[in-house]
Structures are given as C-alpha cells and as structure tokens.
C-alpha cells in the first residue's frame, strides 16, 4: 500500500531486481579491477556514498514501516554482498602487490659497502688502556711522566750511579748538550719516583708509556718502544704480593691457563730483583726437548721473557723521602711490544712502528 510521500522514481533503487543488478555490476567491476588503484575507484562507484545501493538506502526512511523493513534487509544484503566481493578482491590484489614488491624491489644484499674506509686505534694504545683498566679496577691509579727526562730521575734516584754498567747497557739517548743532564727516558721507572715524590705512601700506580734506547731498528729492536711500569709502596708489601699481582696481570692478558716464572735477575732499583717469564702458550715449553720441532713464538726457549720486577730498593724509597724501615714496595716493568707480539704471533716489530694501516685495522679491535 502506497504512502503519501511515496516517490516511485527514487524507490526504484530499492526494488529487488534493481539491487540485484547493482550487486552483480559491482561484483563484476571488482573482479575486473586490475589493481588496487582501480579497485579503489570501483569501490567509490559501487560502495561509495553516491553508489546506487547507498543512494537506495538513503530512501529507506521514506518507506512505510513494513516496506522499510523488507527493503532494508534487501539493501543490507546487497551491501554485504558487495563488501565481501570487494574485500575478496582487495585481499587478492594486495597479495598480488606484495608479491610484486618482493619481486621487483629485490636487491643483492651481498653487494659490498665500503664507501667510507674505516678507522682504528693502535693496538699498543688499546693494550695500554686494557692494562690500565685492570689495575684501576683494583684501586690503582695511572701515572704519567715526560719522555724527555731529568738524568737524576732516570738514573741517579733509581740507584744507577754514573759508572754503573746498566747505564751504558741501556744505551741512553742524551739530549744535547750532554752536560744538560737530560735524556730520553730509558724506561718508565722515573715515573715511579715521580709518583712517590708526588703521592707519598701508600702508592699504587701503573705507568704506561714510550721509552727510548739507542738501538737501531731491526726485526726485534726498536729505538722507541712501550713499557708498562707498576709500583706499589705500602706497609708490609712482599714478593708474594709482587708475584700475585703479576699472575693476575698475566691471566688478564693471556688467559687463565698462562703460567709465570720468576727467576733472579738484577736491576739497580730493585732488590731482590727478578725477571718474569711466561711459559710459551704455543709449545708449552716442549720445544726445548732434544729433537723437538722449533717454536717461533718463544724462539724454542720454552719461556717468553716478559719483564723485570723486584722489591723497590731502599735507595729509591729514600730518594722519594720514604723510610725503608717503615715502607716496602714492589715494582715491575714489561715491554708492551713484547706482550703483543707473541700474543698475535708477530715476527717483526717494524710492523708496529711504521704506521701501516693494516696493523691498526687488523689488531686495533676489541677481540
């Protein structure tokens, strides 16, 4: 039964056959859309606010209640059908597009990328920092001193009088004029004195630094090399403390399996004095056996000389104004090149001094 504001022109859109043809037209259009862009366009045409079905729905309010319910159901069915046809096609096209992205935008990720050459720090710098950190963790501090040093600090105060053979053996580089009392420090030991003079006791410091000897450069000698010095002065320090400290350092540098050996040696600034050796970690000392194959790491000596050490000589303590009856101390000094070279199986010290980028780039890493 018609209502007073019945509008036959508008209502036509709500008729079943009209809706059915709108749905089938939409379905066909969605199915035919070649890509997502076309589908979006068809979505506007068939599901957008001005699509036939949307326009029909706008007319629902004008229908009498019963007719409205029927027409409403038909419109909803049509919308649902169109929407699902659209969704289906969109999923299809998206899958298609994703497949295209992978196919068309694929790159060769194995192409090398070395646009910026990398930088690196020198392995000797890193080993100095590493050792410093080990000692700092134990409460020690890091001390420093000048490379051009007072003769008094490099020799006299360390109980090396002018005639002492050690002074000549070390082949000092003297600063001109020789009477100026200045030399390139032959060891980091003058910093022992500096630390004691400055801090008094107790004093626990390590000193990494460059030192100089008048040796021409060859595969195993360099006139400039690096040492790590340590000195501890306190009440009641012993050679056992020295040994324990060296063991700790050796373990930190060379791993838990390293074995150390102290053997008597002579240094004017320590008494008793010792040389600390490391058992060769390549041949474990077996290269000294008769007929055994040679070992490059230790030169078939079984042990690798690591550094000198001992109990601080009373003259040194007194030169720093400390009473040797009250304080005792130990000191040690090792060559850092000597530490690095066997560790990395390096045969030629020149590789460390020439500044070839390959050395720092290879070894200047936290391995």
Partner 1 sequence: MRVPMSWLHDYVDLQTTDPRQVAGRLTEAGLKVERVEETGADISGVVVAQVLAVEELSGFKKPIRWVTLTDGSSEHQVICGATNFDVGDTVAYARPPAVLPGGFRVDKRPAYGHDSDGMICSARELALGDDHTGILVLGKGDQPDLPLGADVVEVLGLRDTVLELSINPDRGYALSVRGIARELATAYGAPFRDPADLGDRAGGPAGDATAAAYDVRIDDRDGCDRYVARLVTDLDPDASSPRWLQRRLTLAGMRPISLAVDVTNHVMLELGQPLHAFDRAKLTGPIVVRRAVAGEHLRTLDDVDRALDPTDLLICDDSGPIALAGVMGGAATEIGAATTDVVLESAHFDPVSIAYTARRHRLGSEASRRFERGVDDALQPAAAAAAGRLLEQLGRATVAAAITDVDLRRPRPVITLDPSLPGRLAGVPYAEATVRARLHDVGCAVDSEPGDPLQVTPPSWRPDLRVPVDLVEEVVRLEGYARLPSTVPAAPAGRGLTRQQRQRRQVGRALSAAGFVEVLAYPFVAGSTAEALMLDPADPRRPSVRLANPVSAEEPFLRSTLLPGLLVALGRNVGRGFADTALFETGSVFRAAPPGAVMPHPPAGRRPADGVLAAMEAALPAQPLHVAVALAGHWERPGWWGPGRLAGWADAVEAARTSAGALGVALEVAAAEQSPWHPGRCARLSVAGTIVGHAGELHPRVVEAFDLPARSCAMELELAPLLAAAPEIVPAPIVSAYPPATLDVALVVPIEVPAATVETALRDGAGPLLESLRLFDLYTGDPVPSGHRSLAYNLRLRAPDRTLTADEAIAIRDSAVAAAASRCGAVLRT
Binding segment toward partner 1, per CB under 8 A, in 68-76, 84-92, 96-104, 214-222: 214-222
User: Cβ distance 210 to 225 under 8 Å?
Assistant: yes
Site for partner 1 in 66-125 (CB under 8 A): 111-122, 124-125
Q: How far is CA 192 from CA 132, 159, 212, 319, in A?
A: 15, 13, 17, 11
By CB under 5 A, residue 343 contacts Zn ion: no
By CB under 8 A, residue 327 contacts partner 1: no
The residue (of 96 and 348) whose beta carbon lies closer to Zn ion is 348
CB of 116 to partner 1, least distance (A): 6
The residue (of 109 and 294) whose beta carbon lies closer to Zn ion is 294
CB of 94 to partner 1, least distance (A): 32
Choosing among partner 1, Zn ion, none, which partner's interface includes residue 280 (Cβ < 5 to 8 Å by kind)?
Zn ion
By CB under 5 A, residue 298 contacts Zn ion: yes
Is beta strand 141-142 parallel, antiparallel or unpaired with respect to 203-212?
parallel
Binding segment toward Zn ion, per CB under 5 A, in 187-195, 290-298, 317-325, 357-365: 290-298
CA distance 208 to 188: 7
CA distance 361 to 365: 7
From residue 263 to residue 292, the character string flagging contacts with partner 1 as x (rule: CB under 8 A) and all else as - is xxxx----xxxxx------------x----
Choosing among Zn ion, partner 1, none, which partner's interface includes residue 184 (Cβ < 5 to 8 Å by kind)?
partner 1
CA distance 273 to 334: 14
Residue 362 in tokens: 């290879």
User: Cβ distance 149 to 182 under 8 Å?
Assistant: yes
Choosing among partner 1, Zn ion, none, which partner's interface includes residue 360 (Cβ < 5 to 8 Å by kind)?
partner 1
b/e for 20-51, b at 16 or more Cβ within 10 A? eebbebbbebbeebeebeebeebbeebbeeeb
CA distance 190 to 211: 11
Site for Zn ion in 265-284 (CB under 5 A): 280, 282-283
User: Cβ distance 208 to 142 under 8 Å?
Assistant: yes
Q: Residue from 126, 228, 295, 309 that binds Zn ion (CB under 5 A)? A: 295
Site for partner 1 in 158-197 (CB under 8 A): 159, 161, 163-166, 168-169, 173-178, 180-182, 184, 197
> Across-strand partners of 332?
230, 309
Stretch (H or E) spanning 356: none
The residue (of 51 and 287) whose beta carbon lies closer to Zn ion is 287
Number of residues in contact with Zn ion under rule CB under 5 A: 7
Q: Residue from 173, 297, 353, 362 that binds Zn ion (CB under 5 A)? A: 297
User: Cβ distance 296 to 310 under 8 Å?
Assistant: no
- Which H, E and C letters describe 22-43, residue by residue? HHHHHHHHHHHCCCHHHHHHHH
How many angstroms from the chain centroid is the CA of residue 230? 27
CB of 307 to Zn ion, least distance (A): 18
Q: Residue from 33, 131, 157, 195 that binds partner 1 (CB under 8 A)? A: 157
Choosing among partner 1, Zn ion, none, which partner's interface includes residue 339 (Cβ < 5 to 8 Å by kind)?
none
By CB under 8 A, residue 127 contacts partner 1: no
CB of 173 to partner 1, least distance (A): 5
Nearest to 19 by CA among 80, 89, 69, 63: 80
By CB under 8 A, residue 255 contacts partner 1: no
Binding site for Zn ion (CB under 5 A): 280, 282-283, 287, 295, 297-298
């Amino acid at each position: 039964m018609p209502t007073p504001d019945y509008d036959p022109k508008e209502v036509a859109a709500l008729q079943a056959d009209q809706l059915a043809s709108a749905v089938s037209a939409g379905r066909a259009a969605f199915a035919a859309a070649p890509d997502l862009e076309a589908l979006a366009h068809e979505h506007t045409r068939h599901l957008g606010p001005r699509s036939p079905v949307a326009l029909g729905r706008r007319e629902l309010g004008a229908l009498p209640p019963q007719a409205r319910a029927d027409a409403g159901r038909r419109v909803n069915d049509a919308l649902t059908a169109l929407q699902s046809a659209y969704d289906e096609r969109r999923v299809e096209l998206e899958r298609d597009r994703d497949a295209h992205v992978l196919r068309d935008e694929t790159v060769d990720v194995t192409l090398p990328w070395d646009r910026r050459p990398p930088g690196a720090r020198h392995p000797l710098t890193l080993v100095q920092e590493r050792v410093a950190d080990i000692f700092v963790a134990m409460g020690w501090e890091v001390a420093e001193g000048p490379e051009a040093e007072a003769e008094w600090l490099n020799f006299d105060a360390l109980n090396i009088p002018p005639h002492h053979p050690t002074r000549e053996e070390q082949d000092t580089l003297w600063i001109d004029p020789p009477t100026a009392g200045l030399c390139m420090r032959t060891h980091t030991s003058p910093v022992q004195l500096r630390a004691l003079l400055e801090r008094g006791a107790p004093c626990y410091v390590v000193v990494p630094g460059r030192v100089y000897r008048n040796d021409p450069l060859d595969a195993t000698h360099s006139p400039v090399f690096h040492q790590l010095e340590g000195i501890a002065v306190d009440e009641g320090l012993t050679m056992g403390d020295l040994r324990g400290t060296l063991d700790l350092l050796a373990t930190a540098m060379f791993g838990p399996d390293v074995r150390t050996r102290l053997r008597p040696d002579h240094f004017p600034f320590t008494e008793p004095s010792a040389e600390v050796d490391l058992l060769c970690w390549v041949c474990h000392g077996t290269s000294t056996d008769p007929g055994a194959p040679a070992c490059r790491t230790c030169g078939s000596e079984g042990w690798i000389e690591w550094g000198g050490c001992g109990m601080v000589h009373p003259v040194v303590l007194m030169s720093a104004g400390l009473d040797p009856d009250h304080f005792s101390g130990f000191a040690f000094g090792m060559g850092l090149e000597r530490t690095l070279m066997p560790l990395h199986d390096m045969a030629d010290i020149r590789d460390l001094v020439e500044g070839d980028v390959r050395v720092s780039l290879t070894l200047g890493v936290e391995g």
